[in-house]
Amino acid sequence: MQTIKLSNGVEMPLLGYGVFKVAPDECERCVGDALNVGYRLIDTAQAYFNEEGVGNAISKSGISRQDIFLVTKVWISNAGEEKAAASIDESLRKLQTDYIDLLLIHQAYGDVFGSWRAMEKAYRAGKVRAIGVSNFQAGRFYDFAHYADIKPMVNQLQCNPLVQQQGIEPLLAEHNTKMMAWGPLGGEGAEGVVNSELLASIGKGYGKTAAQVALRWLMQRGIIAIPKSTHIERMRQNIDIFDFSLTDEEMKSIAALNRHDTGTVDFGDPKLVKFLIETYG
Ligand SMILES: NC(=O)c1ccc[n+]([C@@H]2O[C@H](COP(=O)([O-])OP(=O)(O)OC[C@H]3O[C@@H](n4cnc5c(N)ncnc54)[C@H](OP(=O)(O)O)[C@@H]3O)[C@@H](O)[C@H]2O)c1
């Protein structure tokens, strides 16, 4: 598996498996399948309510803990130094481990600087090997990274051929922050990526699907990706992307698919912000 080096020297796999919307009672089977297929990076979150399933699958897999890269995220309701610190211990308990490889602030709302202080402490204490953020759009990211003591090592954003996120790249580079793509296939119900005629026609030449081309495109941009599937055949398909390369021309033609919009979620939409704060704040 190809890896990428974070700013603190920690190496993480470039491709992993995500478990958003994987039901708690199905999660153990899915993560078990993903590990069997060869994934070694697993992305979960406190808000997915399936950290226990991830922990069970890892502990039953027989794979050494150090060979797995485990990512989880602090949810909005746990924002603030004390609550975030307690939530990290709770995540460790649910995941049945004494360290998390990468811990992210899930969304940029609430007392994120308080959460960050708790995460920095956990990092210095060895409970976490790397820390970062998620869904911090350009301006929010820049402000946060500027004032944070330890700079975020990762920003996990929606990124795929329709939502390409090139605009934030220089700001991430300035802070040596790596991009990690959620929704790399367009997410549930977003058919645009896996049904793209352009991606399918490029894939045809390599015996690959549109989904594989989309993931390969992210790999060649140096972006970490965590596709989700509950189906083992698709898990196999999504990891089988390291035996072909897209040409510069193909990379350019995919760049033209960018819709230049916020993707399926606009984190700056006041209605969404109000809803999240009222529900979880
Ligand atoms: N930080 C955040 O706020 C955030 C938000 C969303 C997601 N995430 C993370 O990112 C991960 C991936 O994002 P996502 O789950 O939203 O979307 P995604 O991985 O882009 O797409 C998942 C959807 O694509 C389908 N699919 C998977 N492989 C396929 C293939 N080869 N061909 C056709 N369809 C395929 C899946 O269906 P089946 O399962 O039926 O195969 C599912 O409906 C999540 O699981 C989560 O870990 C993070």
Q: Identify the active-site residue in 48, 123, 142, 147.
A: 48
Query: Per-residue pLDDT for 188 more than 90?
Result: no
Find the Cα–Cα–Cα–Cα dihedral 72, 76, 82, 83, rounded to 10°.
Answer: -80
Phi, psi at residue 20, to the nearest 5°? Answer: -65, 135
Mean pLDDT within 261-274: 91
User: What is the structure's pLDDT at 246?
Assistant: 98
pLDDT band, residue 35 (cuts 50/70/90): very high
pLDDT tens for 153-178 read 999 999 999 999 999 999 999 999 99
The residues lining ligand 1, judged by C-beta closer than 6 Å to any ligand atom, are: 18-20, 43, 106, 134-135, 156, 182-188, 194, 211, 226-231, 234, 237-238
CA-proximal residue: ligand 1, atom 36 (nearest):
229
Pairing relation of β-strands 131-134 and 102-105? parallel
pLDDT tens for 198-233 read 999 999 999 999 999 999 999 999 999 999 999 999
Taking all residues of the chain, what is their mean pLDDT, rounded to a whole number?
97
Structural domains of the chain, count: 1
Bridge partners (DSSP) of residue 70 are: 42
pLDDT tens for 74-132 read 999 999 999 999 999 999 999 999 999 999 999 999 999 999 999 999 999 999 999 99
CA 125–ligand 1 middle distance (angstroms): 33
Query: Per-residue pLDDT for 260 more than 90?
Result: no
pTM, full prediction = 0.97
Query: Per-residue pLDDT for 261 more than 90?
Result: no
Mean pLDDT within 43-63: 97
On whether the CB atoms of residues 75 and 110 are closer than 8 A, the answer is no
User: What is the structure's pLDDT at 190?
Assistant: 78
Amino acid at 265: V
Q: Is 17 a catalytic residue?
A: no
Amino acid at 74: V
- For residue 3, give Cα distances in angstroms to 121, 200, 208: 26, 26, 22
List the domain range (segments joined by +) for residue 187: 3-280
CA 229–ligand 1 middle distance (angstroms): 6
CATH number of the domain bearing residue 184: 3.20.20.100
User: What is the structure's pLDDT at 230?
Assistant: 97
User: What is the structure's pLDDT at 77?
Assistant: 97
Residue 242: strand, helix, or coil: coil
> CA-to-CA distance for 73 and 104, rounded, in angstroms?
5
Mean pLDDT within 136-155: 97
CA 114–ligand 1 middle distance (angstroms): 30
User: What is the structure's pLDDT at 25?
Assistant: 87
First CA to last CA distance, the chain: 39
